[in-house]
Structure 1
Amino acid sequence: MVDLLAKSPCAGLLPITIGAVSVTETDLGHLTSIAPYRGMTATASDAFTAAHDMSYPAANRATGKEGARALWFGRDMVLLAGPPPDPTLAGTAALTDQSDAWASVTVTGEGAEEVLARLVPIDLRAAHFKRGHTARTLIMHMNGSVTRIGADSFLILVFRAMAGTLVHDLKQAMEAVAARG
């Protein structure tokens, strides 16, 4: 009989540090998409806030902190990262377990913006993309999510199957930025 071993999406690929930028795999805990039923967005938002002690994020925003975050994840959708969803939310929104669907990494360090500027077609400079801002966007040719979680720190999510590609693309961008320094 074969023994199957659970592996994280970036197992054996991370951490890496090149120049002043580091990439580490981030365990976000339980991941749940929350999609309010038609006409129930305000009710779902109130229920979420009451149940999870953090505000329901507006478009392109994230709330909470490490261990319990809510990320805007598209039109009428939020991704709860950390705790499992409160069961009372099921009356106002569709709850879908996404825990095994995503690879998540944190890009940190002076130069993180420059690294991501080579991969992402949006302006991530702090003057425009502040802490708590999030976007669903392309990361090279992959769909993903980028959230600023600190002055020089970004949380990146891509589909689990794209973890190796994400690490490859980040490494190339890091090498290019480090070579300029």
Structure 2
Amino acid sequence: MVELLAKSPAEGLLPYAKGAVELSELALGKAASIAPFKGQLDAVEKALGQGFPKVGRTTGHVVWFSQGQYLAIAIDIPDALGKYAAITDQSDAWCALELKGAAAEEVLARLVPIDLRQSQFKRGHCARTQLGHMPLHITRTGNDAFRLLSFRSMAGTMVHEISRAMDLLAARR
């Protein structure tokens, strides 16, 4: 009988460091999308035991993910929530990376078409955008740190694009 082994999306590709930037894989653990039914946001927040973030923000383990959709990371979803929202397990769907270091913004400026300067995109801010040609969800998790989420199937390309931008930036210094 064949024995299947679980692998993380970027297994064997990371960690990678160049210049003043480090790229590593994050383990999201449990992740579920939550899309409250019309008029049920208050009931969802009550069942979950916490409020939901505003558009483009994160509150602890719940992240604004898209129009009317949130991503709950590393928390248990109560069964009662299914009466008030569409719930989808996303645990194995995403490749989660962390880019951190003094030049992290400069690396991302070469890849992402939004303004990620700390004066505009503060800690706890998040956005749906793209990295090159790939869909991307980005969250600023610290002064010089970002969580990057893209589809699991694009992990190799995502790592390649970011590490190449890191190399090019380091070569200019």
Q: Normalised by the shorter chain, which TM-score bucket? A: over 0.9
Residue 60 of structure 1 deviates from its aligned partner by 0.4
Give the Cα separation in 2 of the matches to 1:95 and 1:108.
31
Give the corresponding residue for 1:147: 139
Q: Which of 48, 51, 60 is equivalent to 2:56?
A: 60
The percentage of counterpart residues that share the same residue type is 49
Aligned runs of 1:8-157 on 2, under 5 Å? 8-48=8-48, 50=49, 54-64=50-60, 69-157=61-149
SS in 2 for 1:88: helix
Residues 118-170 of structure 1: per-residue CA shift (max 9 Å, x gap): 11000000000000000011111000100000000000000000000000000
SS in 2 for 1:71: strand
**2:119 counterpart letter in structure 1:** A
Residue 110 of structure 1 deviates from its aligned partner by 0.5
**2:31 counterpart letter in structure 1:** L
**2:26 counterpart letter in structure 1:** T
Residues 10-50 of structure 1: per-residue CA shift (max 9 Å, x gap): 000000001110011000110100000122123323433x2
Q: Which of 132, 152, 163 is equivalent to 2:155?
A: 163
SS in 2 for 1:79: strand
Number of residue pairs matched by the alignment: 173
Residue 2 of structure 1 deviates from its aligned partner by 1.7
TM-score normalised to structure 1 length: 0.92
After the TM superposition, list the runs of 4 or more consecutive aligned residues in structure 1 that deviate by more than 4 angstroms.
Answer: none
Give the Cα separation in 2 of the matches to 1:55 and 1:36.
12
Residue 86 of structure 1 deviates from its aligned partner by 2.0
**1:100 counterpart letter in structure 2:** D
TM-score normalised to structure 2 length: 0.96
Give the Cα separation in 2 of the matches to 1:148 and 1:22.
15
Which structure 2 segments of 5+ residues have no match? Answer: none
Residues 36-86 of structure 1: per-residue CA shift (max 9 Å, x gap): 0122123323433x2xxx43111000111xxxx111110000000112212
CA RMSD of the aligned region, Å? 1.0
SS in 2 for 1:155: strand
Which structure 1 segments of 5+ residues have no match? Answer: none
